[in-house]
């Protein structure tokens, strides 16, 4: 099958591509990237005025299946990912049961092959049942198809166990992703410790709880000379520690979420439990530090930490509602509108952090770049299109986002995997023709 994407602005910072090109897709691969390509037979996508980027990769998604299907399933989460422009998502292991055994990893992969429009890569648990006491069978999990290891939702507090995990993962050439939280400081914390927690009279979650574990992981990576990836950084102190690590050539990478880039703790004064997350939303000073770190490449990746919960669970209020934001479908539109358009943030850095950044951490052989001979995983974007966030427009089973009811400038037009559209925005039905 031949498909020609005609007249788009093609942007792939990882491959240093930014210009008007035609893209020829043949049998699922990128066969040509030229200013003009003629197609005698096949399908054409008229993409004048649109942006084509590598398909997005989310290093941090919670699909809830198995065990939490009332919140999300592999099918609904994957459909949400496709609507959000994601072609690859990495699902975290804190399911029920925990993905700490090869048969569970295989179950997720096999289920995804049947129901998912996007590629699903399971992240397996570092420790048995995520209890931080005994290492999971990492080699067996890797053989079953695990793309990396994390106890996300829980920190690996035992430093000796974390060291063993880093050594074992490195031998398997797979990443270790750590949820940085010092539990004795963080226990019972609900929102960021500071002015807002005092006004709300809620137990605070101190920045130090994150920063202590960030420092621990950096020290281990420095001593072992082995990589570690830091999940969802949220504080200025974490950025300062990361800066020191990079200056010392420590092999550490890091991610930041859209909500930590766009929102501050002030939104919690409205009492909206959809803005309750862990790590919590922090101060304006923290947000500015995170943005600068992303702009300079100190933070490598934007990851959604898509964490769906039911409306009933979130209605329990700030004290009792679970932590988590639904993020796959709002990530790109909110970033385009509130970060790129409003604050002049470089578009290329956003695209790079959603594509080649996570591809590099995962060491993917396919995905995250636009290059001849590579698989055609692409996202088509209208920078001037409108995205309305409502319960009715979302594919996810849950809609726990403080962006509910928002209209953003910037929309996903089409998501393509191996040359085949897996999502097309109904507002752009006329861009296909023979």
Task: Report yes or no: 209 and 234 within 8 Å, Cβ to Cβ.
Answer: no
Catalogue the E-assigned strands of 179-320: 191-192, 204-205, 228-230, 252-256, 301-302
Which residue in the list 58, 151, 178, 305 is annotated as catalytic? 305
SS3 for 147?
coil
| 24 secondary structure, DSSP code | E
SS3 for 120?
strand
Tell me, yes or no, if 305 is annotated catalytic. yes
Task: Report yes or no: 71 and 397 within 8 Å, Cβ to Cβ.
Answer: yes
Query: Token pair 């942006």 is at which residue?
Result: 51
| Dihedral sign (CA 99, 105, 110, 113) | positive
CB atoms within 10 A of CB 161: 17
Task: Report yes or no: 134 and 128 within 8 Å, Cβ to Cβ.
Answer: yes
Task: Report yes or no: 355 and 371 within 8 Å, Cβ to Cβ.
Answer: no
Catalogue the E-assigned strands of 244-393: 252-256, 301-302, 378-388
Radius of gyration of the chain (CA): 21
Contact residues for 363 (Cβ-Cβ < 8 A; gap 6+):
173, 174, 175
Element (H, E) at 421: strand 420-424
Q: What number of H helices and E strands is found in the chain?
A: 15, 19
Supply the residues annotated as catalytic: 305
């Amino acid at each position: 099958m031949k498909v020609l994407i005609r007249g788009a602005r093609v942007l792939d910072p990882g491959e240093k591509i930014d210009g008007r090109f035609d893209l020829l897709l043949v049998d699922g691969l990128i066969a040509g990237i030229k200013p003009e390509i003629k197609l005698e037979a096949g399908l054409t996508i008229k993409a004048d005025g649109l942006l084509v980027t590598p398909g997005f990769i989310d290093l941090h998604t919670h699909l809830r299946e198995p065990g939490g299907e009332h919140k999300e399933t592999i099918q609904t989460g994957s459909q949400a990912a496709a609507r959000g422009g994601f072609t690859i998502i990495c699902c975290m292991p804190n399911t029920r049961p925990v993905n700490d055994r090869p048969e569970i990893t295989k179950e997720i992969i096999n289920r995804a092959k049947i129901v998912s429009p996007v590629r699903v890569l399971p992240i397996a648990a570092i420790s048995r049942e995520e209890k931080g006491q005994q290492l999971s069978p990492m080699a067996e999990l890797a053989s079953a198809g695990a793309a990396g290891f994390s106890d996300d939702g829980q920190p690996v507090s035992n430093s000796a166990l974390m060291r063993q995990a880093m050594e074992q993962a490195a031998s398997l050439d797979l990443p270790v992703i750590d949820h940085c939280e010092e539990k004795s400081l963080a226990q019972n914390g609900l929102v960021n410790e500071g002015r807002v927690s005092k006004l709300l009279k809620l137990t605070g979650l101190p920045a130090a709880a994150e920063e202590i574990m960030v420092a621990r992981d950096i020290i281990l990576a420095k001593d072992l000379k082995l990589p570690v990836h830091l999940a969802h950084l949220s504080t200025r102190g974490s950025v300062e520690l990361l800066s020191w690590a990079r200056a010392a050539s420590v092999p550490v990478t890091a991610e930041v979420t859209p909500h930590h880039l766009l929102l501050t703790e002030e939104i919690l004064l409205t009492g909206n439990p959809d803005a309750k997350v862990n790590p919590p939303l922090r101060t304006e000073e923290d947000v500015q530090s995170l943005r600068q770190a992303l702009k300079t490449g100190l933070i490598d990746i934007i990851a959604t930490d898509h964490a769906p919960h039911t409306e009933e669970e979130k209605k329990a209020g700030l004290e009792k509602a679970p932590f988590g934001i639904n993020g796959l479908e709002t990530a790109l539109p909110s970033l385009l509108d509130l970060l790129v358009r409003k604050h002049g943030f470089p578009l290329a850095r956003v695209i790079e952090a959603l594509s080649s950044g996570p591809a590099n951490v995962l060491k993917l052989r396919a995905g995250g770049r636009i290059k001849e001979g590579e698989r055609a995983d692409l996202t088509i974007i209208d920078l001037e299109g409108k995205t309305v966030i409502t319960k009715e427009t979302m594919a996810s089973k849950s809609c726990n986002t403080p962006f509910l009811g928002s209209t953003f400038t910037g929309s996903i037009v089409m998501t393509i995997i191996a040359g085949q559209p897996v999502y097309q925005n109904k507002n752009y039905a006329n861009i296909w023709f023979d």
